[in-house]
Structure 1
Amino acid sequence: MTGRKKECYSLASIANAIGGTLVGEPEILISGLCSLQKASPDKLSFLSNRAYKHYLKTTSAGAVIVSNDDQLLFSGNKLISEDPYLAYALASKLFVDSPKFLSGIHSSANLHSSVSLPKDVFIGPNVVIEEDVVIGHRCQIGSGTTIGARTVIGDECSTSANVVIDKDVTLGDRVKIHSGAVIGADGFGYAFDGEKSIKIFQLGSVRIGDDVEIGAQTTIDRGALDDTVICDGVKIDNQVQIGHNCHIGKHTIICGCVGLAGSVTLGAYCVMGGGSGAVGHITLADRVQVSAMSLVSQSISEAGRYSAGTVQMKTRDWKRATMRFKELDSLAKRLKRLERD
């Protein structure tokens, strides 16, 4: 079976789309994006991390997006940008193989009679939609998705296969949810009566703003009392756990395998690095960046970069350092005694 032929773009048209300055042949045709190492003459590449600058000497790319500072490192066709990584992001939109927009309801879908949806919505195979759900224009609901009662979904939202959106959830416009994500499951709340754990029923829900993207297998729990809130423009990677009553500020980035305990507040434009976490009931100010695998154990009131944990080293050195770490308290006490003497 023959696939759909991908469109090519002249270098001049790409420069116009990304706002770059073209140096070289404007009519050269580009069929896609590729890394510096593997690019062919019909591909566009980019340099945003200078650790890869040595590949500029050997790349076969038809053109490269570079910064003004790095333009002299490459003698071929180039697009000069103040931010090559942002320019690469803009260029990627030209070459994405977007699925064709569909409309209609698959015969195997199970919709409650009270569901409200316009004619320009697509409902895929084996979708289940419960009572009083409202779905906006041009939404695409992927196969096997379940949408709980009284959920409201804005315009131009999409779910991939097997997404679960529980009852009373609200989604803004242009929300994209990837396969296996669960939105609105019960938060993890229990009270101990001395013998056993007593469940705290989760009475809130989840509110998601506009232009949010949620990765595969991510879970966002409903609030215990108030709602869990994900503000406009937030991007959440795969396999992230967001506990009940968290509040994620606008345009924050949460990388893969992050875990946020209940009632964490992240400000706007924060970044949580991969595998990082935060204990419950703390607040991070706007524009805080947390390094990968760091644990945030107290509130952060100033913007900036924060890290926790030990640096990589050979195992024998790490073992030695760990033993010395255990001795710090006694060393500090000995030092105080020496200072008094």
Structure 2
Amino acid sequence: MMKALDQAMTVQALADHVSGIVVGSGNALIQAVASLDVATEEALAFCEPAKQNTLGDSKAGVVLVTDAFASQCPHHAIVVPQPRLAFARLLQWLFKTPARCSGISSTAIIAPDAQVDPTAFVGPACIIGAGCQVGADVVIEAGCVLGEGVSIGAGSHIFEHVRLYDGVQVGHHCILHAGAIIGKAGFGFVLDETQRWCEVPQLGTVRLGDHVVIGANCTIDRGALGDTLIGEGVKCDNQVQIGHNTNIGAHTLICGCVGISGSVTIGSHCVLGGKTGVADHVNITDHVMLAGGSGVAQDIEKPGVYGGNPIQPITQWKRSCLHLAKLDEWARRIRALERTCE
């Protein structure tokens, strides 16, 4: 699809915003953004090196590319080191989210001692508990529930039907998408003398750093004694489960349907692929990337790329997958050899 701009922009203006170099005419007008395959002569697109063989088929008016492929663009080019990053920054600039008017809905229920900044917005049917602190320019959409003593830093956006349990701390400029549950009791039980499960009280809370994004329907459990910690700039996709007392380092990316058990430590700048599972009390160092569907049951002490279940360095895992595909052939050959020895 193509998304029209509110007003036409020159190629030079777009290039200036991302410190790019124009190849072609800087005066050409761009009126939309689009993916490379559907872009027209009035649209901006981007092309990463892996897709450079499709440049010749594109009709895009201007393409964000690296220097090596600028000459292949059909019309004009903006040369940048990282086309996808430049495209993202241009989208942020061109399609700013309109500022929400401040105010409190008449159907919201606010505890008398809760402190809500005058610039904040609180939507219909929200409940804000005793001792809560809601910072400047915070947006709380309809149906959210904040327990006692919750704090939300300036500029954060809490989407519909988010539940923040008692004592949860949300940093500045965070985004919590619809249905997220933050600070529910951790899953802690111990067998008693009669072989019945006895619940271990979860007395900690959850603390989110600044610029954290939590996807829709994620759950983050509060700590048993200490707190569950989500570092600055962490991004979680939808339907992620994070167990109690887990500590996730700054700027780690967690893809959809990841399950992280309790008391896990994950370093900074890690990436967890979709449907990855991490067992309890595992420690993962900084700068680790896990392929989708990985199963982590032991510590990872060296930065790198890993995959598989059990986890292996990625090259070893790929070899294992190739060998697995040949098991039937090897089994037939072994049976044939056995018959010759009979």
After TM superposition, the structure 1 = structure 2 runs for residues 167-178 of structure 1, keeping only pairs within 5 Å, are: 167-178=166-177
Residues 116-147 of structure 1, C-alpha deviations (whole Å, 9 max, x = no match): 01211100111111111011111010111111
Cα pair 2:61 2:74 within 8 Å, conserved: no
Q: Determine the structure 2 residue equivalent to 1:333.
A: none
SS at match of 2:286: coil
Q: Determine the structure 1 residue equivalent to 2:206.
A: 206
Residues 104-125 of structure 1, C-alpha deviations (whole Å, 9 max, x = no match): 0011111111110121110011
1:62 is aligned to 2:61: yes
- TM-superposed CA distance for 1:216, in Å, is 0.7
**Tell me, which stretches of 5 or more residues in structure 1 are unaligned?**
328-341
Q: Determine the structure 2 residue equivalent to 1:154.
A: 153
After TM superposition, the structure 1 = structure 2 runs for residues 83-162 of structure 1, keeping only pairs within 5 Å, are: 83-96=82-95, 98-162=97-161
Cα pair 2:228 2:246 within 8 Å, conserved: yes
Structure 1 residues 260 and 49: CA distance shift in structure 2, 3 A: farther
1:241 is aligned to 2:246: no
Q: Determine the structure 2 residue equivalent to 1:32.
A: 32
Amino acid at match of 1:221: D
Structure 1 residues 49 and 322: CA distance shift in structure 2, 3 A: farther
After TM superposition, the structure 1 = structure 2 runs for residues 214-253 of structure 1, keeping only pairs within 5 Å, are: 214-253=214-253
**Tell me, which stretches of 5 or more residues in structure 2 are unaligned?**
310-316, 335-342
Partner Cα distance (1:287, 1:56) in 2: 33
Runs of 4+ displaced beyond 3 Å: 309-314, 317-324
What TM-score do the two structures reach when normalised by structure 1? 0.88
SS at match of 1:8: strand
Cα pair 1:182 1:220 within 8 Å, conserved: yes
- TM-superposed CA distance for 1:313, in Å, is 12
Q: Determine the structure 2 residue equivalent to 1:16.
A: 16
Partner Cα distance (1:231, 1:99) in 2: 28
Structure 1 residues 59 and 124: CA distance shift in structure 2, 3 A: same
- TM-superposed CA distance for 1:74, in Å, is 2.0
Partner Cα distance (1:106, 1:31) in 2: 38
- Root-mean-square deviation (Å): 2.3
Q: Determine the structure 1 residue equivalent to 2:178.
A: 179
Residues 275-325 of structure 1, C-alpha deviations (whole Å, 9 max, x = no match): 1121110111111111111111111111111111476999xx85945996x
Amino acid at match of 1:76: H
- TM-superposed CA distance for 1:183, in Å, is 0.7
Q: Determine the structure 2 residue equivalent to 1:271.
A: 271
Q: Determine the structure 2 residue equivalent to 1:338.
A: none
Q: Determine the structure 1 residue equivalent to 2:288.
A: 288
| Higher mean displacement: 197-206 or 95-104 | 95-104
SS at match of 2:92: helix
- TM-superposed CA distance for 1:49, in Å, is 5.0
Residues 145-191 of structure 1, C-alpha deviations (whole Å, 9 max, x = no match): 11110011111111111111111011111011111111111111111
